[in-house]
Amino acid sequence: MSDDRLPAIEPWPITATVNQFAALSGLGRTSIYELIGSGALRSVRIMGRRLIVVESYRELVRQAEAEAAE
């Protein structure tokens, strides 16, 4: 997926809260936590807040595209 098909947020943040990431990605909170639990989506805890590493979502999308093209 090219960046031009992602929501027009410039520049994209490095991290996002789960709620922010849900709005950015269109995924539900449960799906987000499942992806974190599986290791497919990276997150960090900073000062008690769970933050999604947005680049890991880009990687996940690229991987899904590659698998779909096979």
Q: From 1, 25, 5, 2, select the one nearest 13 (Cα to Cα).
A: 25
The band of 4, judged by pLDDT with boundaries at 50, 70 and 90, is low
The arrangement of secondary structure in 3-69, i.e. its CATH architecture, is Orthogonal Bundle (1.10)
User: Domain locations in the chain?
Assistant: 3-69
pLDDT (tens digit per residue) in 35-52: 999 999 999 999 999 999
- The model carries a pTM of 0.78
Rg (CA), the chain: 12
| Per-residue tokens: 7 | 């929501």
Strand order in the sheet with 49-53: 15-17, 49-53, 43-46
User: Left (φ > 0), alpha (ψ -120 to 50) or beta: where does 48 sit?
Assistant: left
